[in-house]
Amino acid sequence: MTDAIDRSDQPSAPQRRRITTSDGIELDAALIRGGAERTTAVVLANGFTGTWRNPANRMIAQRLLPVGDVLGFDFRGHRSSGGRCTVGNLEVHDLQAVCAHLREQGYARIASVGFSMGAAVVVRHAAGFGGVDAVAAVSGPGLWYYRGTRRMRLLHLGVERALGRWFLRAARKVRVIDSQWDPVPPDPTEMAADLAAPLLVVHGDADTYFPVEHAERIHAAAPGPKDLWIEPGMGHAERAMTPERAERLAQWLARRLPGGGETAPSAGSGG
């Protein structure tokens, strides 16, 4: 049973933003504000082909609003954002630009929450750039080029073959690079050792992309404070998040952020 969270503040409609990265890529973003002026923000980093417009992302944003204002954005190469997707490499610059934008807007505390590809990005960003106060990685890979599941073998075909990239562009509105990484960046497990912010790793035991060993690797590598949730029956990334799971995530963020977030849940059992 989870704690009740106060939702008395009425959220705003998404406020569209265009945010430019250090390498000149324009990102499509949307900020949802709570009913009062706040100094805490939560950034949602989507999985590959994901967008802040998806119903699952909107539900998660609503459940996290008691912690702070929520900014969702589309990674480079996704929908209305510029550039081409690098599937987790240069996307750290996208997250850095979003966090810098929030700091410029007066937010003193920032948490980053990532799903799948976005989970890899939030870990790498927090370790390499810093500047965030809490990190949650949901359904993320622990190492690059994993092909141990059918879903990941199909994903690699999609990004490595010209026909697959055409399908992604036509059907999912995602433009992917047609070259290999050079150099190959450190993977999330390697980077986790350099984390200075509290880390939550969430993974489903029914994930069809990455087995739970990926989550266990990242959690073991992180210095702490850290928490690992292996969720029974949970699938992959945003679509596997239920309102109850999103609320537990909000409770964890409220406990871990300096000052306890904007509207801390009552003391109790969650997570």
Angle at 135 between CA 130 and CA 136, to 5 degrees: 155
Domain 15-144+184-257 has CATH 3.20.20.220: no
Q: Which residues contact 85 (CB under 8 A, 6 or more apart)?
A: 48, 75, 76, 77, 78, 91, 174, 175, 176, 177
C-alpha separations of 23 from 97, 174, 175 in Å = 10, 19, 17
Q: What is the pLDDT of residue 75?
A: 98
Q: What is the pLDDT of residue 267?
A: 31
Cα–Cα distance, 122 to 117 (Å, whole number): 9
Q: What is the pLDDT of residue 260?
A: 62
Tokens found for residue 211: 């087995």
Lowest mean pLDDT among 13-17, 60-64, 84-88: 13-17
Q: What is the pLDDT of residues 173-186, one digit of tens each?
A: 999 999 999 999 99
Of 116, 128, 80, residue with least CA distance to 201: 116
Rounded (10°) angle between helices 91-104 and 117-128: 60
Domain extents in the chain: 15-144+184-257
- The DSSP bridge pattern shows strands 226-231 and 26-32 to be unpaired
Please determine, for residue 80, whether its predicted confidence score (pLDDT) is greater than 70.
Answer: yes
Q: What is the pLDDT of residue 129?
A: 97
C-alpha separations of 225 from 5, 44, 195 in Å = 24, 21, 10
Q: What is the pLDDT of residue 268?
A: 32
Q: Please state, rounded to an integer, the average pLDDT across all residues of the chain.
A: 92
Confidence grade of residue 3 (pLDDT, cut at 50, 70, 90): very low
Q: State the DSSP string of the chain.
A: -PPP----SPPPPPEEEEEE-TTS-EEEEEEE--SS--SEEEEEEPPTT--TTSHHHHHHHHHHTTTSEEEEEPPTTBTTS-S-B-SSSTHHHHHHHHHHHHHHTT--EEEEEEETHHHHHHHHHHHHT---SEEEEES--SSTT--SSHHHHHHHHHHHSHHHHHHHHHHH-B-B-SS--SSPPPPHHHHHTT--S-EEEEEETT-SSS-THHHHHHHHHS-SSEEEEEETT--STGGG--HHHHHHHHHHHHHHSGGG-SSPPPSS---
**Amino acid of residue 234:** M
Q: What is the pLDDT of residue 244?
A: 98
Note whether 64 and 253 are within 8 A (CB): yes
Q: What is the mean pLDDT of residues 159-170?
A: 96
Q: Which residues contact 3 (CB under 8 A, 6 or more apart)?
A: 247, 251, 265, 266, 267, 268, 269, 270
Give the N- to C-terminal CA distance of the chain in Å, as an integer.
Answer: 10
Q: What is the pLDDT of residue 37?
A: 86
